[in-house]
Structure 1
Amino acid sequence: MSDILKALSDEGVSIWLDDISRERLRSGNLERLVKEKHVVGVTSNPTIFAKALSKGTAYDDQVRDLAVRGVDVEEASRAITTYDIRWGCDVLRPVYDRTDGLDGRVSLEVDPRLARDTEKTVAEARALWWMVDRPNLFIKIPATEEGLPAITAALAEGISVNVTLIFSLERYGKVIDAFFEGLEKARANGHDLSTIASVASFFVSRVDTEIDKRLDKIGSEDAKKLRSKAGLANARLAYALYEEKSGTDRWKALKDAGARPQRPLWASTGVKDPDLVDTLYVDELVAPGVVNTMPEATLEAEADHGRLRGDTVRGAYDDARAHMAALKDAGVDYDDVVRVLEEEGVEKFAASWKELLDSISGELKDKSA
């Protein structure tokens, strides 16, 4: 079963797991996925942590200690999440060493309620980077307008960044520019650029969910034919932009100074439409030098029945552009789609963070009683 995942890795796709929990770490499950399923990285988000804390007893001892110490809920959330991330970094450290820092990375997101506040985002990134204290950590910063200068500032200080919640091509271009500027400032600050890493998380399935909803509302036969293809087209054009920016003199100067590329990362790759093949956003987004972060169900599906046919990105640029043009002709407003998706993404993660804090607050009260 793992042969498909090995073949995917051999195509240049780094397989990351989009999940972490204390139970997964404690049971050795993550270590097994690394050894048996070619997993070479881990991503987390507020929703994942809220779900992890709501199940089982893995966090009870730590929460009890935090309650005894009288730690407030905000600091308790940092203590709990950074504990898991630090442990995950240690599990992935052999991969980090073996790949010379390319993979073996674990991502931790800043408080999503700060997504519209540059200064607080940077301060939180610094705090989390210090608390985890592992070279294979990524700090996740959202690609909001306010997040862009925070991305630059964090990189300038030598903090490796996973830029999250990217939906639009225009915003992705700005993310790449923020990455370049951050490395230029890091170099000016005397940092070794080879120690700073970044990925740009381009969301896929959510694009289809929103656009398909609009196509269904239009209701014409032509509109129906356009369903469930926008997420792939959007991602493929993102890779085209990545290639374009990689050919600039600005990047070449940074590369000559030892910089690593900011790899495109395909996020939101779990298929939400039951009518679609469950490995769609893996098989159709194969290209060299990318990351695909998968929920475990998608990882297992790919291992079981994925259908790889080589690079499915670089030969599809013209079709992708034609599809986006057809969506516009059908009446789908792309700019409004990506605006709605970003707003919803921030709101959903903020709601999950509140759920996490509420859960921790309740646990602290129970353990201190």
Structure 2
Amino acid sequence: MTETNANLAALSAAGVSVWLDDLSRDRLNTGNLQQLIDTRSVVGVTTNPTIFQTAMSKGSAYDAQLRELAERGADVDAAIRTVTTDDVRNACDVLRPQWEASDGVDGRVSIEVDPRLANDTDKTILQAIELWKIVDRPNLLIKIPATMEGLPAITSVIAEGISVNVTLIFSVERHRMVMDAYLAGLEKAKEAGHDLSKIHSVASFFVSRVDTEIDKRLDKIGTDEALALRGQAGVANARLAYAAYEEVFVGGKRFEALKADGARVQRPLWASTGVKNPDYSDTLYVTELVAPNTVNTMPEKTIEAVADHGVIRGDTVTGTAGAAQEVFDKLAAVGIDLPDVFRVLEDEGVQKFKASWLELIEETKAQLDAAKK
């Protein structure tokens, strides 16, 4: 009999879906993913190019498949597509019971379109549809970045009846545009005769990176007022995003019109929740962002920190928008250029994923070449 951790069970009971921000063939083969589902309340998995690059560079779990792909003459892109979609499909199957039990809300696994397409709307749409067909599982989410070019792609992909995880959202302003893109997609999907109740979406709002960037700028300003604001921006930003979500999906006219046809809310997902500054509590971006209808996708280290000493004290978000706005007003007052912060973070986010993808290509190419020898 496996026992569920009480802290993570409390987090789930408060309306937060616990997702693991990691996937590897080892996790699947050893039963580790199933163990996290059983003992750590995990009901979903997110992946990104960095996660796959790390998984493929460690150990030998992929060797046999890459040898076989090399023998068949597969090129690097085809090999990456096969390996990553196989892992995601298998994870979807592991999480199928969670998907069924939650009426499709959880039990989800995310796979990202090639980050080199982040600024190409048409190619993003085509690859999203292709990945959806290759994985061929109803509990898949296709990750599309919330770049300006990504927004119309989100609408088009949702319109096809495909579920989407919108990633790399840093500002509330962009989050509002993401929610608009989702609603526009639902309206088109309705026109096309799709069953709206089958279309799901999460909006992945990045948390720790906001603190990392803003803290760096506060240190540079160096005044007492500036230094007193360190470590507050990430949580405040996410709380403002939740208030925006409530505005749109809790009684918002546009969504209400779709709700009658079975449309689902686009849940806020807290991403980048591993704490990067050792001065802050390692459960900060979990315990301070507890709210109904949200997802928190965590690296295993953060899940274990919450399991060990996370204090879950119910909803810590609803009704906090006023105080969160005050934090932002103070940041602007001490000289933080917030639009610039969000621009830098988005550009960096896309670049990091592109760099990881290029490393993944190199890693795979080296393994394919070695297999041919």
> TM-score by structure 2 length?
0.98
* Match runs of 1:340-351 below 5 Å: 340-351=344-355
Question: Gapped runs of 5+ residues in structure 1?
Answer: none
1:205 aligns with 2:211: no
Corresponding residue for residue 219 of structure 2:
216
Describe the SS at the equivalent of 1:304. Answer: helix
Corresponding residue for residue 33 of structure 1:
36
Corresponding residue for residue 78 of structure 1:
81
* Match runs of 1:253-292 below 5 Å: 253-292=257-296
Corresponding residue for residue 229 of structure 1:
232
Cα distance between partner residues in 1 of 2:306 and 2:38: 16
1:304 aligns with 2:308: yes
Corresponding residue for residue 16 of structure 1:
19
Cα distance between partner residues in 2 of 1:313 and 1:107: 25
Cα distance between partner residues in 2 of 1:63 and 1:159: 29
Q: Residue by residue, what CA displacement relative to the aligned partner does 1:128-164 show, whole Å, maximum 9, x if unpaired?
A: 0000000000000000000000000000001100000
Aligned AA (1:213): K
CA deviation after TM superposition for structure 1 residue 43, in Å: 0.1
Q: Tell me which of 117, 130, 134 is aligned to 2:133.
A: 130
Q: Residue by residue, what CA displacement relative to the aligned partner does 1:46-96 show, whole Å, maximum 9, x if unpaired?
A: 000000001000000110011001111011110010010000000000100
Q: Tell me which of 166, 169, 180 is aligned to 1:166.
A: 169
Corresponding residue for residue 359 of structure 1:
363
1:177 aligns with 2:180: yes
Describe the SS at the equivalent of 1:162. Answer: strand
Corresponding residue for residue 150 of structure 1:
153
Give the paired residue count. 369
Q: Residue by residue, what CA displacement relative to the aligned partner does 1:216-258 show, whole Å, maximum 9, x if unpaired?
A: 0001111100000000000000000000111221100111110
Aligned AA (2:171): S
Describe the SS at the equivalent of 1:23. Answer: helix
Aligned AA (2:233): A
Corresponding residue for residue 46 of structure 1:
49
Aligned AA (1:212): D
Aligned AA (2:134): M
Cα distance between partner residues in 2 of 1:288 and 1:11: 6
Aligned AA (1:331): G
Cα distance between partner residues in 1 of 2:321 and 2:298: 24
CA deviation after TM superposition for structure 1 residue 4, in Å: 0.5
Describe the SS at the equivalent of 1:315. Answer: coil
CA deviation after TM superposition for structure 1 residue 354, in Å: 0.4
Cα distance between partner residues in 2 of 1:349 and 1:300: 25
Describe the SS at the equivalent of 1:259. Answer: coil
Cα distance between partner residues in 2 of 1:239 and 1:248: 14
CA deviation after TM superposition for structure 1 residue 315, in Å: 2.7
Cα distance between partner residues in 2 of 1:200 and 1:318: 22
Cα distance between partner residues in 2 of 1:344 and 1:206: 10
Aligned AA (1:242): Y
Describe the SS at the equivalent of 1:264. Answer: strand
Q: Tell me which of 250, 254, 258 is aligned to 2:254.
A: 250
| Aligned-residue CA RMSD (Å) | 0.6
CA deviation after TM superposition for structure 1 residue 6, in Å: 0.4
Describe the SS at the equivalent of 1:134. Answer: coil
Q: Residue by residue, what CA displacement relative to the aligned partner does 1:269-299 show, whole Å, maximum 9, x if unpaired?
A: 0000011000000000000000000000000
Cα distance between partner residues in 1 of 2:142 and 2:361: 20
Cα distance between partner residues in 2 of 1:344 and 1:250: 33
Cα distance between partner residues in 2 of 1:292 and 1:313: 13
Cα distance between partner residues in 1 of 2:252 and 2:226: 38
Describe the SS at the equivalent of 1:286. Answer: coil
Cα distance between partner residues in 1 of 2:199 and 2:79: 28
Q: Tell me which of 322, 325, 331 is aligned to 2:329.
A: 325
Corresponding residue for residue 97 of structure 1:
100
CA deviation after TM superposition for structure 1 residue 308, in Å: 1.4
Aligned AA (1:227): R
CA deviation after TM superposition for structure 1 residue 318, in Å: 1.2
1:196 aligns with 2:172: no
CA deviation after TM superposition for structure 1 residue 109, in Å: 0.2
Aligned AA (2:198): T
Describe the SS at the equivalent of 1:263. Answer: strand
Cα distance between partner residues in 1 of 2:312 and 2:368: 48
CA deviation after TM superposition for structure 1 residue 196, in Å: 0.6
> TM-score by structure 1 length?
0.99
CA deviation after TM superposition for structure 1 residue 317, in Å: 1.2
1:241 aligns with 2:244: yes
Question: Gapped runs of 5+ residues in structure 2?
Answer: none
